[in-house]
Every structure is written in structure tokens, then in C-alpha cells.
Amino acid sequence: MTRFVYQCSNCGKRYQRDEVRYLCPGCSHDYRPGIPLIGVLSVQFDYAAIRKKFSKAKPDWNLFSAVEKQFFPPIPVGNTPFFQSAALGNELGFANVWIKNDGLNPSASLKDRASFLVVAEANRLKENTIVAASTGNAASALAAVCAAAGKRALIFIPQNAPKPKLVQMILYGATVVPVRGTYDDAFRLSLEYTAKRGGLNRNTAYHPLTIEGKKTVGLEIWQQNHWRVPDAILVPVGDGVIISGVHKAFYDLKAAGLISRRPRLVCVQAEKSNAIHRYIESGIYQSAANPSTVADSISVSVPSNAHMARKAVLESGGFSITVSDAEILHAQGILASKTGVFAEPACSAVVAALKKLRGSKRLDRKAQIVLLITGHGLKDVDAAMQGIRLPKAIEPTLEHLKSIHAL
């Protein structure tokens, strides 16, 4: 760990580590459930100290951690594969396409990285209950890491949450509380619970270490790319925390003098869940009225980290793009059949976006492009089924095989 302070992303005020826990106390007065979070905190390290100690020959990634190693939960997270796919590049019309496959984390999503660090913080603070409102990957990730760390995960979910999403978290031993109402109601109840009854709240961006945990994917990309900064990273965006985390990785590396430029970040959203996209394009924030997309992990009405995500994209010189459900399902098949990576619809959206950008001047076809795959396709088999047709059974004779066209 390196010494750090928290800095408010809204007013810039700085706080000592144990002076604050969630949002900036000064700015969060203006926050109410139903709007993006105000006063999200950002970790600002002693970058001169990192610069002095960091060595590429023997990289110590704990220098970039906001929690001491001794508190880490006993479950390996991260170090996921990073590789080039010429076949996918050829298919999409780009010469240098790479995949970071974070679906291969323990609970099968990038969100394990955030849960890992928040549970480490819970160990430091001697908190035994960690609370979150979620319907999907964040809750599964929290439940998995809590299981390994011997902690209690308390999860509030809207009552209409899809049942398959619950299986993982219940098997991991989480306490799952369905709430009559929407995700916003569950979110509000989780905040009230931790305010009155205690425990540590892991709600995404609300706890600043969720962003720090997610940034480790960016640090890994830099290392796995032989200490080079890719030209662009395409990120699936729902509430805007993952893209803020990727941005933070390269912000930290630049602040520590280890890189001279940052990658362009491309925000990819579903057409019907596009609040951050519109915010980036117009500068005016408006929630998505009825977000409905096959990419449920990025389906969100009020993106909690909209302000920071917009800033991240603009500062990186990147841009935003949306894709339709049909494009997402088609891209899911392309990715699987060209690379062997089965990704959930949310991250297949980045493949759809790159396909759409073919021939556009927004991305150079020779640029090094990274597609961030944030969750495994087995998380949502029902969605994938919409894009394929299952073959019918035949009688087990060679004669009947003749009826199959491909044979």
C-alpha cells in the first residue's frame, strides 16, 4: 500500500483515509436516490513514493493498492488472460485487436476485483457484514469473496430479479432479501440499512474502493501488453464504474510518471440504456426512462457514476457509441466463433461497437484496440439462446444424419 487521501470528484476537497467512508460529506447533501451519485471519492496516492519504489523488473502492484496486503481475502482474483485475436480483427476490419477476458474471474465477472478490495477494507475495519443492492454480477461477486473471507454478504434485490441470477449468490451463502419495488428501492434500503444498522456498504461507486478494485484490470493490461499503452480500450458501460476504474489505472500510472500518454476510452452502451452516452454527447444528464436491453448487466436507469464516467471518456480523448440488441446478439456469436470466448451480452456489446466502427474515422484500423470482456456468457444462457437455434434430435442412424444439412 502507498499513503493516500480521498479527493471529492465534485468539489475537490481532500479527506484523510478514516475521515470518510463513502461520499464527500460536503457534496452528498445534494444526493438523493434516483439521481447519479454526487461527491464520489477518488483515491489520490503519494505518486512520488510510487515512482521511487516501482520497478518493471519486479513489479509490486501493492504500491497501487489502497488497502494493505495483510487484509486481502484468500481468493485469487484477476490475472486474467490478455491476448491478440487476428481472426476477430480480420472479421471486424481492424488489424490489431486484443481481448482482456475478465469473465474468467472466480465468480465469472470483473466485479470480483471490486468485491476483493471492499472485503479487504472490511477486514481492516473489522466489519463482518457487507451490504449491497444488486440484481446480478456485483452481488454474485460480493457473495463469492465473502464466502472465501468468512464474511456475511447481505444483498437487497428487487422482487422481480431474474431467478438464475440468484443461484450463484445463494449457493455462495449470501443472505438475499427480495424487496417489493425497483432497483432504486433496493438501493435506498441498503443505504438506510448501513446507516442505521452498520456493516460496510459495497454499492458501486458509493464505496470509493469499488473503483480502485476495478482499476486493477487496467494495470494488468499495461503489464501484459509489455508496458505499452494500447491506443483504445472499448468498455461496456452501465453505471459507469468499470470505465472509471480503467481510467483510474492509467491516471495513476501517468501521475507516477510511468507512462506518458493514456489510452482513448470508448464508452459502449445499449441503445435503450444510454444515459451516459447521451450525457457524453450533449453535456446534459437525463436518466434512461425505460431501460430494456438483452444486455442486462448494463441495463440501468440512473447510472450511479455518470459524472465520473463522462469525465473519464472526455479526458482520455475517447468517445461514446450505442449498439442495438440485435447487434449485440449477433456480435456474441462472432466473438464466440472467432475466439472461443463466450461472453455475456453486456460485453458482447463492445464487439458489436467495433463492428459498427469499421470504416469510420473515429478509430484507426491499425490502432491497438482492446476489447474488455467483463462477464462470462454462462451467466445468462437465456439471452444467448435468443441468438441461436437449437438442433432437433434425430434417430441414431447414419440414414437419419442425411437430414442434417451441414453433413
Residue identified by cell 464487439 is 351
All three cell numbers of 213: 478494485
All three cell numbers of 184: 432504486
Where along the sequence are the contacts to Zn ion (CB under 5 A)?
A: 8, 10-11, 24, 26-27, 39
Q: Is the Cβ of residue 39 or residue 158 nearer to Zn ion in the bound state?
A: 39
Q: Is the Cβ of residue 26 or residue 173 nearer to Zn ion in the bound state?
A: 26
Cβ contact 318:51 at 8 Å: no
CA dihedral 173, 179, 185, 189 (to 10 degrees): -60
Q: Is the Cβ of residue 307 or residue 310 nearer to Zn ion in the bound state?
A: 307
Q: What is the nearest approach in angstroms of Zn ion to the Cβ of residue 8?
A: 3
Q: What is the nearest approach in angstroms of Zn ion to the Cβ of residue 207?
A: 16
Phi, psi of 392 (to 5 degrees): -85, 155
Cβ contact 380:296 at 8 Å: yes
Q: Is the Cβ of residue 10 or residue 368 nearer to Zn ion in the bound state?
A: 10
All three cell numbers of 137: 454480477
Sign (positive/negative) of CA torsion 278, 284, 289, 291? positive
Q: Is the Cβ of residue 27 or residue 343 nearer to Zn ion in the bound state?
A: 27
Cβ contact 112:105 at 8 Å: yes
Residue 250 to residue 262: CA distance in whole angstroms: 6
Q: What is the nearest approach in angstroms of Zn ion to the Cβ of residue 244?
A: 16
Q: Is the Cβ of residue 23 or residue 341 nearer to Zn ion in the bound state?
A: 23
Cβ contact 327:272 at 8 Å: no
Q: What is the nearest approach in angstroms of Zn ion to the Cβ of residue 172?
A: 35
Q: What is the nearest approach in angstroms of Zn ion to the Cβ of residue 13?
A: 5
Q: Is the Cβ of residue 135 or residue 305 nearer to Zn ion in the bound state?
A: 305
Q: What is the nearest approach in angstroms of Zn ion to the Cβ of residue 240?
A: 18
Residue 148 to residue 144: CA distance in whole angstroms: 7
Cβ contact 268:323 at 8 Å: yes
Q: Is the Cβ of residue 8 or residue 120 nearer to Zn ion in the bound state?
A: 8
Q: What is the nearest approach in angstroms of Zn ion to the Cβ of residue 41?
A: 8
Q: What is the nearest approach in angstroms of Zn ion to the Cβ of residue 310?
A: 17
Q: Is the Cβ of residue 8 or residue 237 nearer to Zn ion in the bound state?
A: 8
Q: Is the Cβ of residue 26 or residue 181 nearer to Zn ion in the bound state?
A: 26
Q: What is the nearest approach in angstroms of Zn ion to the Cβ of residue 25?
A: 8
Q: What is the nearest approach in angstroms of Zn ion to the Cβ of residue 28?
A: 8
